């Protein structure tokens, strides 16, 4: 556990997230948002732990901009901006939902309130299933539905999903929080017309290394080395390789590496009834009295 690096990453992530929250993104493209937010992370001397996610409306998670992606934020959109900061592989994972239409404020507030209630009960030994119960109860009390098949997760060096899940609903069994671990908690909320589940969509624009085994294709192996050297096992986007490879070639090489199972591609996650989804997220390290919420505003 490198507590100091987790805290430094968290401070940067919280500063960048609050800038994202306060800014009016209407009329901006998702490409502009991703580039600007990633720039804010790098400007503060850290690296991105994953491509900034800009998941709009019924897309709950895992959408990042394509190179020059023209999708533009409208005043009725609900946009989950999920960002990750890493220092030596120690990660801060945090998200905010921005919306400019008052009719969706309740949905956003519900996710924020569920997260706040979850954070206030954290300490060493608390059961993940009890956190899930608090999140579910809070969301239902505000008149909405949690997304049951999305959850928070333990973190480890260069590893975003380190094996433990923090559910957004009550569930049987599960583990207890350890003070030697960092975790992310991320309630996702949809309306009562939503199914309360996500499904995989067709679009896949976030990738991660699976294996460093050579492919016998020289150029593909060069890209494999580039990915390992720059992103380790953490997720990346096509945007992050088109400075070094021409876009068409980069796409072909990526598809080749996916076919060889050297790289995996993550599909976007869409609410099953195509209802709008809001999200809030913090990273924290439990202790005997409570928790260090690394991504809380200082």
In the structure encoding, which two tokens stand for residue 148, read together? 């049951």
Indicate whether 81 belongs to the interface with Mn ion (CB under 5 A): no
CB atoms under 10 Å from CB of 103, counted, come to 10
CB atoms under 10 Å from CB of 174, counted, come to 16
The length of the chain in residues reads: 298
Catalytic residue among 38, 40, 66, 82: 82
Q: What is the DSSP letter of 186?
A: -
Q: Are 169 and 197 in contact (CB under 8 A)?
A: no
Q: Is 282 helix (H, G, I), strand (E, B) or coil?
A: strand
Q: Which stretch binds Mn ion (CB under 5 A): 13-21, 125-133, 171-179, 281-289?
A: 281-289
CB atoms under 10 Å from CB of 214, counted, come to 13
- Of 92 and 257, the one with the shorter C-beta distance to Mn ion is 92
Q: For residue 240, which of 41, 66, 88 has the smallest C-alpha distance?
A: 66
Catalytic residue flag (residue 221):
no
Indicate whether 198 belongs to the interface with Mn ion (CB under 5 A): no
Indicate whether 184 belongs to the interface with Mn ion (CB under 5 A): yes
Catalytic residue flag (residue 82):
yes
Q: Report d(CA 35, CA 135) in Å as an integer.
A: 32
Catalytic residue flag (residue 62):
no
Indicate whether 263 belongs to the interface with Mn ion (CB under 5 A): no
Q: Which stretch binds Mn ion (CB under 5 A): 67-75, 88-96, 139-147, 191-199?
A: 88-96
**Number of shown-chain residues binding Mn ion (CB under 5 A):** 5
Indicate whether 93 belongs to the interface with Mn ion (CB under 5 A): yes
Single out the residue of 38, 40, 77, 82 in contact with Mn ion (rule: CB under 5 A). 82
Bridge partner list, 155? 182
Catalytic residue among 38, 40, 69, 93: 93
Residues near Mn ion (CB under 5 A)? 82, 93, 95, 184, 281
Active site residues: 82, 93, 153, 161, 186, 281
């Amino acid at each position: 556990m490198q507590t100091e690096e987790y805290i430094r990453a968290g401070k940067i992530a919280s500063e960048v997230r609050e800038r994202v929250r306060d800014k009016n993104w209407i009329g901006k493209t998702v490409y502009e948002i991703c580039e600007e937010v990633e720039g804010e992370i790098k400007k503060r001397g850290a690296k991105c732990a994953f491509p900034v996610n800009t998941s709009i409306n019924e897309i709950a998670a895992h959408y990042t901009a394509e190179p020059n992606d023209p999708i533009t934020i409208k005043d009725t959109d609900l946009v989950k901006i999920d960002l990750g900061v890493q220092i030596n592989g120690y990660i801060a994972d945090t998200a905010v939902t921005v919306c400019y239409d008052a009719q969706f404020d309740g949905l956003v507030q519900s996710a924020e309130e569920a997260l706040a209630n979850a954070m206030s009960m954290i300490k060493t030994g608390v059961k993940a299933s009890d956190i899930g119960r608090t999140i579910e109860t809070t969301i239902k009390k505000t008149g909405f539905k949690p997304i049951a098949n999305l959850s928070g997760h333990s973190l480890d060096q260069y590893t975003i999903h380190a094996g433990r899940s923090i559910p957004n609903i009550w569930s049987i069994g599960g583990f207890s929080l350890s003070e030697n671990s960092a975790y992310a908690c991320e309630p996702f909320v949809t309306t009562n017309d939503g199914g309360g589940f996500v499904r995989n969509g067709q679009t896949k624009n976030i990738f991660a290394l699976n294996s460093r085994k050579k492919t016998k294709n020289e150029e593909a192996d060069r890209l494999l080395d580039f990915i390992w050297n720059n992103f380790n096992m953490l997720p990346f986007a096509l945007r992050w390789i088109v400075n070094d490879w021409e876009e068409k070639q980069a796409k072909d090489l990526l598809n080749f590496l996916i076919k060889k199972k050297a790289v995996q591609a993550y599909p976007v996650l869409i609410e099953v009834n195509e209802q709008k989804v809001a999200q809030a997220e913090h990273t924290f390290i439990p202790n005997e009295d409570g928790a260090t919420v690394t991504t809380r505003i200082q």
